[in-house]
Amino acid sequence: MNRAGTIALTALAPISWGSTYAVTTEFLPPDRPLFTGLIRALPAGLMLLAIGRTLPRGAWWWKAAALGALNIGAFFPLLFLSAYRLPGGMAAVFGSLAPLWVAGLAMLLLSEKPTVRTLLTGIAAALGVSLVVLRATAALDMIGVVAALTSSASMAAGTVLTKRWGRPDGVGPLVMTGWQLTAGGLLIAPVALLVEGAPPALDGRAVAGYLYLALVNTAVAYWLWFRGIGRLTATSVTFLGPLSPLTAAVIGWAALGQALTPVQVIGMVIALGATLVGQMTVRPRSFSSPEGNGSKHSMDLTGASVRR
């Protein structure tokens, strides 16, 4: 598959995540964000493990646990906490800072200097998303702000490390996705039990919503996301993230009767423009792999690793 096709398939992941708000509000029991995160992650992870029939070996036990914690186990609860504490879509604005987090983490962890274009495009993406989701009455809540910033940084760190570590020989993105979702779900489970108590009673509508979140919104979407990380640059993948709040806004307008103002439309154009610019490639630099296997990787200024 060519690069454009890979980008298009990877983009389906954040587009799917953009439906989470509508499904949560219309189908699921209220005020159970941790239970929702658990149901999204653990059943999907176990299903993919059963399909892949491969467990981690050696150092990949702790690597899979670390990636699962960053991409799922910490990200989900912090994201839901920020969404509950910050009004007017402000959590999505902090989430749109992920490309800037990726650039900064790549510089710290991989000694790669970000380009001016990457930084400016990241700022434009955040600006566009803020115009779409922010309301004039939005107020800051420090707990929510810290949770939103930490969730965004957690996902960015998981993206950089996923690209940095690659995959073990013979292990595909489906198996890697299963490892991370299972590890993340196991981390969320005790927190959900302590904070929210026993699972709620579910009707048919809620079961349908959870099935969609677990299968389409998580198992398939995260498989496409991690597959994209393996084939594209880290920043290219991260710049697809703004498609999630943009999709949520479109669904709110088309399915929930929410109005779109001219300012929101302008914000969509800016955010989509930043997403497209973020798909432009830059010339890679090479470095020696730390895995000790003598292989070489090329690393671009966004932390992207491509085996040669």
pLDDT tens digits for 30-74?
Answer: 888 889 899 999 999 999 999 999 999 999 999 999 999 999 999
Question: Is the pTM of the predicted complex or chain greater than 0.75?
Answer: yes
pLDDT: is 173 or 235 the higher one?
Answer: 173
215-270 tens-digit pLDDT: 999 999 999 999 998 888 877 888 998 898 888 888 888 887 777 889 889 999 99
DSSP bridge partners of 307: 297
178-199 tens-digit pLDDT: 999 999 999 999 999 999 999 9
Residue 190: what pLDDT?
94
* Neighbouring C-beta atoms of residue 91, cutoff 10 Å: 26
Q: In sequence order, what DSSP letters do the residues of 187-230 get, joined into one string?
A: HHHHHHHHHH-SPPP--HHHHHHHHHHHIIIIIIHHHHHHHHHH
